[in-house]
């Protein structure tokens, strides 16, 4: 695990741990599971998007976790709502597991 950190809500290693993929950039279209959302919590999102399992949106920014940079992405989805999601949970639309991004240090 990179820096010994794990994703805040999944217990999985933080993105950028050498598993491959490419770095996520601001402005990229991404897909993520509602259950991976960090803020607002998944229960609130399930109520707002009752018929959806995944959401698609655009990365509008990043947030750090302690000393680890860019652990969370702020993703704008339909209804112009921003959702904070662990970067490791983001995928390219239509990319499946192979479409996963890795964390990019700046």
What domains are there in the chain, each with its CATH number? 2-101 (2.30.30.140)
Per-residue pLDDT tens over the stretch 54-76:
889 999 999 999 999 989 999 99
Q: CB count, 10 Å around CB of 18?
A: 9
For residues 8-12, average pLDDT: 43
For residues 20-45, average pLDDT: 83
Q: Residues 101, 24: contact at Cβ < 8 Å?
A: yes
Residue 51 has pLDDT above 50, yes or no: yes
Q: Is the pTM of this model over 0.85?
A: no
- Give the full edge-to-edge strand order of the sheet including 29-33: 29-33, 54-65, 68-77, 81-86
pLDDT at 1 (0 to 100): 30
């Amino acid at each position: 695990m990179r820096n010994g950190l794990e994703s805040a809500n999944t217990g999985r290693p933080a993105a950028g741990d050498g598993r491959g993929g490419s770095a996520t950039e601001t402005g990229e279209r991404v897909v993520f599971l509602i259950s991976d959302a960090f803020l607002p919590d998944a229960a609130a999102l399930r109520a707002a998007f009752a018929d959806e399992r995944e959401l698609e949106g655009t990365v509008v920014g990043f947030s750090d976790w302690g000393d680890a940079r860019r652990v969370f992405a702020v993703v704008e989805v339909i209804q112009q709502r921003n959702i904070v999601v662990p970067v490791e949970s983001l995928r390219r639309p239509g990319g499946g597991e192979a479409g996963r991004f890795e964390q990019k240090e700046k």
